[in-house]
Amino acid sequence: MTSLLLLASLVPSLVAQSVEAVPPTPTAENQTVAFVDTLLGKGAAIKNDDVVTVTYKGWLPTTGKVFDSSEDKPPFAFKVGSTDVIAGWNQGLVGMRVGGKRTISVPPGLAYGSRSMADIPADSTLCFAVELHRIDSADVEAKAEIQNLAPGKGKAAAKGDVVDVHYTGMFLNGKKFDSSRERNQPIRFELGAARVIAGFDQGVIGMMEGGKRRVTIPYSLAYGEAGRPPVIPRYATLVFELELVKIR
């Protein structure tokens, strides 16, 4: 999906059709994105400059051939309104809400135009089925989201403590990228000493020995805009299942 490189465009006023409908194919005269919301999400809607995390499938409406998909990959994240994606994505996804699913039909002028790209012939209209998993807005303070799974016992871990922690790291779609349990070796670090990503620190503080948590860490408290290729993509939100083994 990193090859989607056309400039962003302004978002027109679009009206979603019925849930089971297929977006009409744009004509040469109508170079705007058509879309159908197959599932409405909840919460705030996407706006320009938001960082959004999605999964998707792209195909050619003329043949049905799938040319790209996030299946078996980490979710794809990008800044809306940037040149990270084709213009049709910037136009067609604005207004979606988390949990929503949308099918968009992108005319050639908002895709790759007269260029051919791998399995995409020149002058192709493209269709995408997109599911929105997360919105990160610059005007909302980033913080780790903590779900307590088991309470543990004893004193609570605090800044300056050295802790042993087992973890399993995943992306928002559940795809695993690392686990200390597979090595049977918990990670040891000092809380608050910047030895781990900021969101990991936030997630462990307050845990007690034997306690378990699920911690969702926004990209700005993880590996940032750049990620850590090839394992962690750009703007990646990370999910960790944690167990505090010992406070030393």
The catalytic residues are 167, 177-178, 197, 223, 240
Spell out the SS3 assignment of the chain: CCCCCCCCCCCCCCCCCCCCCCCCCCCCCCCCCEEEEEECCEEEECCCCCEEEEEEEEECCCCCCEEEECCCCCCEEEECCCCCCCHHHHHHHCCCEECCEEEEEECHHHCCCCCCECCECCCCCEEEEEEEEEEECCCCCCCCEEEEEECCECCCCCCCCEEEEEEEEECCCCCEEEECCCCCCCEEEECCCCCCCHHHHHHHCCCCECCEEEEEECHHHCCCCCCECCCECCCCCEEEEEEEEEEC
| Phi, psi of 221, deg, nearest 5 | -110, 10
Residues 127, 58: contact at Cβ < 8 Å? yes
